[in-house]
A and B are shown apart, each in its own frame.
Chain A
Amino acid sequence: MLPIARSEFLQIVRNRMVFVSATIVPVGLSFVFISQREVFAQSPTGVGLLAGAFMMILISMGLYSTAVTTLAARRQTLFLKRLRSTAVSDGAALSGIVIPPAIIGIVQVTAVLAVLASIDAPPAEPLLLVVSGLALVLMMLGFALATAGITQSPEHAQVTTLPITLGASAIAFWIGFTGTEELTPLKRLLPGGAATELTISAWNGGAEWGESLLLLAPTAGWIVVAVVLAKSMFRWEPRR
């Protein structure tokens, strides 16, 4: 797994288009929002809205989209088939491929939230923030494997990733702008909704730990859905 992950890092760095879309674009977008933080602070969820939105944007663009693009590219070039001709297990091969986008996503989230914390105020519950972030990472990795199954090429990934990238970001902003006092069950059940609520309350503080951890349940459910979809949809070779 580690040799595969190392080679994937090398390839991300060497492929300018992938590197830019995985790093500069989502981080740049986040800094645009930070520059307008006073506007967002007026929302019912305050600056927590930005934390929730950043978490979702960076993980969906930096991690999910990059992972789908990478998996589609490796399948198209028959590199996945080559990995399966070695002694490495399927799980280790896939882990090695998605670990770099996952690490890039986590580093980006950490960096951007650190900047937000330094110019505003640090999060009230940083540990809850980490838990929420990791849950989102796992969910998006599962969705990436499932989406890769219907993605024929890296170019096609620009289309197939849109529903989850835009949908999840829209959900995060909706919850950020409107809070969760109305339509609470719906907002929590949507993919990423409960994790966004958890992120916002971890940033702003004031919520009970036990109550906050219950918010992990819908995200855990979506992780299971994503894994089931990935198992049935993922393909190792291009369709003949």
Chain B
Amino acid sequence: MTRETVIDVHDLTVRYGTFEAVTGLSFEVRRGELYALLGTNGAGKSSTLEVIEGHRSASSGEVRVFGEPPTRRRSVRPRTGIMLQESGFAEDLTVRETLGLIGSLSQREDRPERVLDVVGLAPKAGTRVSQLSGGEKRRLDFATAIFGSPELLFLDEPTTGLDIQSRDALWETVDRLREDGATIVLTTHYLEEAQQRADRVGLMHRGRFRMEGTVAEITRTLPATISFRATAESAEIPLDHVRRDDGTVLVETHALQGDLHRLLAWADERDLELLELEAGPTRLDNVFRSIAND
């Protein structure tokens, strides 16, 4: 079943003077999915996100959010929650006052107490924003974005500055929103988050997509690896693309299951124990590195 398109980007270009930050970008985000927009530094992610969020106009191309130009705030924003990368609060307001203000401006209904409870800031409701730690401000950021359970949620580096407990709590809340049908656009430098959670990923470099697809499709572009500690018998391994690196044997393979089976059978025949054995598909950060080095 094809899901409805929530974000439709067609041939987007963003220029700053003569510099082209984004060139001919096209992609769509469907309802209910978590789309991770990743890229190297200066790849154009922020510019792309700013256009989709409606903070900046495109130099050319077309962007639609819920079928409307994202700059049409009155119709788009009540359905959209945005967690900015950098916190921007009035320092002299309390946590509750801030959430009440930003929540009321979102034009979505909710109770500030409920949202503060969800993000673990209920004990700080009466505290001024100036007295919050960096992690607490980040949680307040998240609270303003999820106020009223928006249909579309932009998470820009959501877990930066959060401890492990706060991160887990954030992702639990995001998972609950997704169960209710919310669509998520995520940017993050923590690639393992994208690897674990994204339905689809767009990898940008120098203003263009270098890869786009599911995590499995993207990680399949590079070989999987099998590794174990080298022994005297390692030279006889019956596999291709074997190399040794600092006492470790590394095997690159596009047929992980088959080659792992052959390796284990070979070790079994010789009664060998493969110490520190690891096997798995390539990770997103390896793909990222291969693009960044391009």
A and B: bona fide binding partners: yes
How far is A15 from B129 in the complex, measured between Cα atoms in Å? Answer: 13
Q: A77-B91, A86-B106 are in contact. Are A10 and B97 (CB under 8 A)?
A: yes
B169 within 8 A of A: no
Point out the residue from B77, B78, B87, B105 that lies within 8 Å of A3, measured CB to CB.
Answer: B105
Q: A4-B101, A7-B90, A11-B93 are in contact. Are A81 and B84 (CB under 8 A)?
A: yes
A87 within 8 A of B: yes
Task: Assess the A7–B88 pair: CB atoms within 8 A.
Answer: no
**Which size bracket describes the interface of A in this complex?**
20 to 34
B175 CB to nearest A CB, Å = 23
* Minimum CB distance partner of A82 in chain B: B88
How far is A85 from B70 in the complex, measured between Cα atoms in Å? Answer: 11
A33 within 8 A of B: no
B266 within 8 A of A: no
A79 within 8 A of B: yes
B286 within 8 A of A: no
Task: Assess the A77–B89 pair: CB atoms within 8 A.
Answer: yes
B26 within 8 A of A: no
A 26-83 contacts with B by CB, 8 A: 74, 77-83
Scan B78-112; emit 1 where CB is below 8 A from any A CB, else 0: 10001010111111110001001110111100000
Task: Assess the B88–A3 pair: CB atoms within 8 A.
Answer: no
Residues of chain B within 8 A of A87, CB atoms compared: 73-74, 77-78, 105-107
Task: Assess the A82–B102 pair: CB atoms within 8 A.
Answer: yes
Which of A4, A11, A77 lies at the interface centre, i.e. has the most chain B CB atoms within 10 A of its CB?
A77
B53 within 8 A of A: yes
Which of B73, B86, B105, B144 lies at the interface centre, i.e. has the most chain A CB atoms within 10 A of its CB?
B105
Q: A79-B88, A81-B88, A85-B55 are in contact. Are A7 and B105 (CB under 8 A)?
A: no
* Minimum CB distance partner of B98 in chain A: A7
A156 within 8 A of B: no
B13 CB to nearest A CB, Å = 20
How far is A82 from B129 in the complex, measured between Cα atoms in Å? Answer: 14
B265 CB to nearest A CB, Å = 58
Q: How many residues of B contact A (CB 8 A)?
A: 25
B56 CB to nearest A CB, Å = 10
Residues of chain A within 8 A of B88, CB atoms compared: 77-82
Task: Assess the B86–A4 pair: CB atoms within 8 A.
Answer: no
A89 within 8 A of B: yes
Scan A79-106; emit 1 where CB is below 8 A from any B CB, else 0: 1111111111100000000000000000
Task: Assess the B97–A7 pair: CB atoms within 8 A.
Answer: yes
How far is A213 from B263 in the complex, measured between Cα atoms in Å? Answer: 96
Task: Assess the B89–A4 pair: CB atoms within 8 A.
Answer: no
Point out the residue from A7, A14, A74, A78 that lies within 8 Å of B84, measured CB to CB.
Answer: A78
How far is A42 from B101 in the complex, measured between Cα atoms in Å? Answer: 52
Closest 9 CB pairs of A and B: A78-B88, A87-B77, A86-B105, A82-B88, A85-B82, A14-B92, A11-B92, A87-B107, A79-B88
Chain B interface (Cβ within 8 Å of chain A)?
A: 53, 55, 73-74, 77-78, 82, 84, 86-93, 97, 100-102, 104-107, 144
17 further A-B pairs in the complex, CB-CB below 8 A; given A3-B101, A10-B93: A4-B105, A7-B93, A7-B97, A10-B92, A11-B93, A78-B84, A79-B89, A81-B55, A82-B84, A83-B105, A85-B82, A86-B73, A86-B102, A87-B74, A87-B107, A88-B105, A89-B74
A-B contact list, 13 entries, CB within 8 Å: A3-B100, A3-B105, A10-B92, A77-B91, A79-B90, A82-B84, A82-B102, A84-B55, A85-B53, A85-B77, A86-B105, A87-B78, A88-B105
